[in-house]
Amino acid sequence: MFDEKNTGNNLPVQFDIMASPGDYHADEFNLQFIAKGGGSANKTYLFQETRAVLTPEKIYAFIETKIKTLGTSACPPYHLAIVIGGTSAELCLKTVKLASTKYYDNLPTSGDATGHAFRDIEMEQKVLEISRKIGIGAQFGGKYFCHDVRVIRLPRHGASLPIGIGVSCSADRQIKAKITPEGVFLEQLETNPAKYLPEITDEHLGGDVVAIDLNKPMQDILAELSKHPVKTRVALTGTIVVARDIAHAKLQERLDRGEGMPDYMKNHPVYYAGPAKTPDGMATGSFGPTTAGRMDSYVDAFQEAGGSMVMLAKGNRSEAVTQACAKHGGFYLGSIGGPAAVLAQNNITKVEVLEYPELGMEAVWRIEVKDFPAFIVVDDKGNDFFADLA
């Protein structure tokens, strides 16, 4: 129950198999592949409500309150899916997942007395407008919290009103395929999405960038960061230790046994991440930040022991982290969620295993970075950038 091991091959995987009635798909298999990270999957919620919430005033207020709690941990801009109703809680959430991948985009756009499922296009537009006004934006403020919204209405039992909310992150990784008597066919995806983006340079971003030398003693790093307010953009160069969920659990076990915090956690910033497989000729595979909030419960104890004084990850943190940083003089730096391959290509120059190699990508790593981009999100004075957006 309590001991875990990484299989080392990304298995087991979830398979869902469904049969279509009649002869419509008699000679073919239709497949949809979803590469899903934990950050966005963890932002899937079920709310057991009642008929009382089904008024225009109450449902929009309910939705606004709930989508604010999504925060930035799952890499917005999001593809937001909302499902109202369902003959079971399980069906509601299954529909949320598939709606977030646009699987149900061809549903009817109005209901009838038979109780079939439908998309509410008008509500989708209203929820999109709500998302633009809440101020969270694409991770660091603004209006682009959502790329798009799907709202699906399902029939329900008279005693139940499940409401499901979930997201697909900005990476939105899925692809369709089919197998027919004629062969195997894979959906043609855009191979150059960058052509749709404007050319952005440092001049467009504005503001000064503060260079932080991570090869200095930790006290000097903390003193430099303390000179600057939250929202400050920094460029990190030097050594960083990488540790995420399982490594943090291992380190907590050390503390519980009275063994203390290892020096590498005291002398270097810690990056919550894990590398993908390294392509030939590259220093590393994709190496983007994971959700910071999963490590929140460790911060106070780790900082008390002299570790995790500078943390680097994505997304907002809990009030407990703000309090710990104010108490111990620590900092949380927010990296950008989503561009893992870009960070690996442009900013990470060396990667080596430091401890727990048996954990695979969840091992403790040491990396060398150059001009790694981040922002001061939580400082040593009790300030939290995201507090103003709550």
What are 236-266's pLDDT values in tens digits? 999 999 999 999 999 999 999 999 999 999 9
At 193 the pLDDT is: 83
Are both 184 and 236 inside the same structural domain? no
| Buried/exposed 260-272: b ≥16 CB within 10 Å, e otherwise | ebbebbbbbbbbb
Domain that holds residue 282: 202-389
Looking at the chain, the whole-number percentage of residues with pLDDT higher than 70 is 97
Mean pLDDT computed over 171-193 = 92
pLDDT in tens, 96-143: 999 999 999 999 999 999 999 999 999 999 999 999 999 999 888 889
Residue 75's pLDDT band (cuts 50, 70, 90): confident
Q: Which of 316, 324, 334 is nearest to 388 (CA)?
A: 316
Question: What pLDDT, on a 0 to 100 scale, did the predictor assign at position 39?
Answer: 80
Comparison of pLDDT for 197 and 97, the residue scoring more:
97
Q: How confident is the model at residue 269 (pLDDT cuts 50, 70, 90)?
A: very high
Which of 160, 194, 228 is the last residue in one of the domains?
A: 194
Q: Pick from 176, 194, 212: which residue ends a domain?
A: 194
Residue 24 forms part of a structural domain: no
Query: Is the per-residue pLDDT at 205 higher than 70?
Result: no
Verify that 105 and 244 share a domain, yes or no: no
Structure tokens at 222: 């903390």
Q: How far apart are CA 295 and CA 330, in angstroms?
A: 15
Same domain, 182 and 216: no
The pLDDT of residue 348: 94
Share of the chain above pLDDT 90, in %: 71
pLDDT for res 23: 64
Cα–Cα–Cα angle for 67, 35, 96, rounded to 5 degrees: 35
Does the pLDDT at position 51 exceed 90?
Answer: yes
Do 354 and 287 form a contact (C-beta atoms < 8 A)?
no
Is a pLDDT exceeding 80 seen at residue 283? yes
Q: What is the mean pLDDT of residues 35-43?
A: 84
What was the pLDDT predicted at 22? 66
* Nearest-angstrom CA–CA distance, 54 and 87: 16
For 287-308, what is the mean pLDDT?
Answer: 96
Q: What is the chain's mean pLDDT, rounded?
A: 92
174 and 308 both lie in a single domain: no
Looking at the structure, tell me whether residues 93 and 135 fall in a common domain.
yes
Total domains, the chain:
2
pLDDT at 390: 58
More confident site: 107 or 193: 107
Residue where a domain stops, chosen among 144, 173, 194: 194
- Name the helix (H) or strand (E) containing 95: helix 89-100
Same domain, 162 and 282: no
CB atoms within 10 A of CB 279: 13
Residue 25 pLDDT level (bands cut at 50, 70, 90): low
Tell me how far CA of residue 123 lies from CA of 129, 292, 297, 319, 347, in angstroms: 10, 32, 37, 33, 42
What is the structure's pLDDT at 77?
A: 93
Per-residue b or e along 110-135, where b marks 16 or more CB atoms closer than 10 Å to that residue's CB = eeeeeeebbbbeebbebbbebbeebe
pTM: 0.84
Q: Same structural domain for residues 183 and 225? A: no
Q: What is residue 130's predicted lDDT score, i.e. its pLDDT?
A: 98
- The answer to the question of residue 9 being in a domain is no
Instruction: State the Cα–Cα distance between residues 390 and 71, nearest whole angstrom.
Output: 8
pLDDT of residue 35: 84
Q: Is the pLDDT of residue 191 over 70?
A: yes
How confident is residue 2, by pLDDT bands cut at 50, 70 and 90? Answer: confident
Question: Is position 290 within any domain?
Answer: yes
pLDDT for 98 equals 95
Looking at the structure, tell me whether residues 184 and 315 fall in a common domain: no
234 and 175 within one domain: no
